[in-house]
Amino acid sequence: MFKSLSRQAGFILMPIISIFLLLAMVAYLLNSSNQLELRMVKDETSPERMDFMLDAAEAHFLWLNNQQSCVNYTTLSNVTFGPNQYSATPAADNGSPIDLTLSATNQSGDTVTEIRQVNLYDPLLTDVQLASIDSDIRQANPNSNYGPGTTLQLDSSSGAAIYPLVQFDLSTLPIGAEVISATLDLYVETTGASTAGASIIAYPMKSPWTEIGVSYSTSDGAILWNYMENYQTTNPSKPVALDPIITGWYQWDVTHFIPLWLADTSKNSGLTLIGSSQVKGVSLTSRSGPISTNRPLLNIRYRVACGAGAGPATTDVTIEISMAADTYIAQNNANLNFGREINFLVGLHNERHTLLLPDLSSIPAGALIQSAKLRLFLDKQDKDNTESLDPIVMEVFPLTVPWDEGTNDGTIAVPNDGASWNERKPTLTWTGAGGDGDYQIPNVGQVSIPFAAKAEWITVNDIVAIVQEWVDGVSPNYGLILTGTHGNTQRFISNDDIQPGLSPIIEVVYTPP
């Protein structure tokens, strides 16, 4: 069914509902106690009666102490239960599992005692994941790749169907997480020519695919596949109705997929959407969409058992780090600064290097970096017939000296107020031209960019180590230098371009201190 989301509402209500359910359970037990009172006149010490009271003691204890954030567990002593009493005494005041001594005393003074091992949990937590990769594939253009674009298209037209694909990285969820609920949240920008009765179902993919390679005919640009045989048709999500006149957030319940992916990460190949025949020309915001708050989300509500002596688990935080400065330096214009250019360039032909300085002020000291991905939007390539048609390999190195972005756009030679091929600051030269000798070796990441790629996001997946060093103060944050090993020059969108949502970023997932 359709839901116009206030996404947090369900998460706020869930613990309240849980409390009501537990209170109802105890109330039910109390009510049942009164109903059974007549039977107890003849058999007050029946095993059924005593077990009933022990169950009530355990339920009461768990309800109360699952709100304690895994510490300072409360003992229940002589709690009135109709004409009877029960108690619950934990063997430890923190951790899980623990031994719980339960006792029940009837109105005649007879007492039964039992030790049970019970699990206690942290309060419910929410993990909100941004899509790690997404694309759509098109039946009418079976060999074309459309990822990563700024939208995901969905269409059920005969012979021209379009299917979105989206995948989420679940590595930040703690080991042993018990998933309570999970929803896929997608923002519908336009409903196209869809008509009444339209609905959309989410299916788990069975085979891996790549964002910059997947098409209707191949999973990664090379390996042939039959898309129609590569999603799981059994037990998909329930269909979500698409209102032809309402845009905005739509939500699919995907709770039952997540435990399978957590148990075996190789089974997490993401999700695909398939519309009913009434779905025509739907456009959804992708992970590269210019409005960051409308990008695909996976909202997971979960709990974890208390660890021995552990306090509450901490929810990881996902943020986008922007650049405090960016520019490029060019061998063939060795004394020029390009600090206000709308592009920054990387390539071996007429060698160019890019300089990036991330602003880490939003990451608290002591944070544990779980993931860090450098993402750059490739505007186009400058092709040169003398260069190889092979993919360019772009390498990323941490700089070891400070530099200035500058305010020139490459047309003003004097005064030069920022980094150039020869200088990192006005009057301060690099150790070697082009920054040679002023960055750490080996690289902290690299990526292969296909020949003729354009208008797509390029991701360097793992720069966790250097970001952690910067946050910890082990290494000063002088930013990164990007170099190309061979091939044509790559033009990326810089901070100075007016197009929204395409500036360079580092996607960071961290655990707060």
3-state secondary structure 413-424: CCCCCCCCCCEE
Verify that 151 and 280 share a domain, yes or no: yes
The two three-digit tokens of residue 506, written as one number: 């580092």
Q: Which domain holds residue 371?
A: 317-511
- What pLDDT was estimated at residue 389? 66
Verify that 351 and 481 share a domain, yes or no: yes
- What pLDDT was estimated at residue 173? 84
Establish if 27 belongs to a structural domain: yes
Place of tokens 């077990």: 51
Verify that 354 and 479 share a domain, yes or no: yes
Verify that 210 and 270 share a domain, yes or no: yes
- What pLDDT was estimated at residue 412? 67
Verify that 152 and 282 share a domain, yes or no: yes
CA 163 – CA 275 distance, rounded (Å) = 8
- What pLDDT was estimated at residue 324? 95
Are the CB atoms for 254 and 271 separated by under 8 Å?
A: yes
Mean pLDDT for the stretch of residues 361-378: 92
CB-side neighbour CA atoms (13 Å) of 258: 27
Establish if 3 belongs to a structural domain: no
- What pLDDT was estimated at residue 4? 38
CATH number at residue 286: 2.60.120
- Place 467 in a pLDDT band, splitting at 50, 70 and 90: very high
Verify that 59 and 107 share a domain, yes or no: yes
Establish if 234 belongs to a structural domain: yes
- Place 383 in a pLDDT band, splitting at 50, 70 and 90: low
Establish if 6 belongs to a structural domain: no
- What pLDDT was estimated at residue 513? 85
Strand intervals (E) in 91-177: 98-105, 111-118, 125-138, 151-154, 162-168
- For the cut 90, the answer to whether the pLDDT of residue 300 exceeds it is yes
- What pLDDT was estimated at residue 439? 96
- For the cut 60, the answer to whether the pLDDT of residue 486 exceeds it is yes
Verify that 412 and 380 share a domain, yes or no: yes
- What pLDDT was estimated at residue 288? 87
Establish if 240 belongs to a structural domain: yes
- For the cut 70, the answer to whether the pLDDT of residue 3 exceeds it is no
Establish if 4 belongs to a structural domain: no
Verify that 158 and 259 share a domain, yes or no: yes
Verify that 445 and 477 share a domain, yes or no: yes
Model pLDDT for residues 276-292, shown as the tens digit of each residue? 999 999 999 999 888 88
Q: Which residue has the higher pLDDT, 221 or 309?
A: 221
The two three-digit tokens of residue 203, written as one number: 């299916």
The two three-digit tokens of residue 455, written as one number: 């208008």
- What pLDDT was estimated at residue 253? 97
- For the cut 70, the answer to whether the pLDDT of residue 215 exceeds it is yes
Mean pLDDT for the stretch of residues 465-478: 94
Mean pLDDT for the stretch of residues 358-386: 85
Are the CB atoms for 46 and 84 separated by under 8 Å?
A: no
* Least confidently predicted of 52-61, 192-201, 213-222, 486-495: 486-495
> Which of 71, 86, 118 is the last residue in one of the domains?
118
- Place 95 in a pLDDT band, splitting at 50, 70 and 90: confident
> Which of 118, 141, 158 is the last residue in one of the domains?
118
- For the cut 80, the answer to whether the pLDDT of residue 42 exceeds it is no
Verify that 285 and 167 share a domain, yes or no: yes
- For the cut 60, the answer to whether the pLDDT of residue 203 exceeds it is yes
- What pLDDT was estimated at residue 256? 96
Mean pLDDT for the stretch of residues 356-376: 93
Task: Report the domain count for the chain.
Answer: 3
Mean pLDDT for the stretch of residues 120-142: 90
> Which of 118, 141, 174 is the last residue in one of the domains?
118
* Least confidently predicted of 4-8, 116-120, 449-453, 471-475: 4-8
- What's the mean per-residue pLDDT of the chain? 86
Verify that 179 and 246 share a domain, yes or no: yes
Mean pLDDT for the stretch of residues 133-151: 92
Q: Which residue has the higher pLDDT, 306 or 190?
A: 190
Q: Which residues of 114-128 are buried (b: 16+ CB within 10 A; e: fewer)?
A: eebebebbbebbbbb
Task: Please give the C-alpha separations between residue 81 and each of 20, 47, 437, in angstroms, as whole numbers.
Answer: 19, 16, 77
Establish if 242 belongs to a structural domain: yes
CA 437 – CA 304 distance, rounded (Å) = 48
- What pLDDT was estimated at residue 438? 96
How many Cβ atoms from other residues are within 10 Å of residue 152's Cβ?
Answer: 30
Mean pLDDT for the stretch of residues 86-104: 93
- For the cut 90, the answer to whether the pLDDT of residue 392 exceeds it is no
Establish if 312 belongs to a structural domain: no
Mean pLDDT for the stretch of residues 338-367: 90
- What pLDDT was estimated at residue 104? 93
Verify that 131 and 236 share a domain, yes or no: yes
- Place 314 in a pLDDT band, splitting at 50, 70 and 90: low
Mean pLDDT for the stretch of residues 179-190: 96
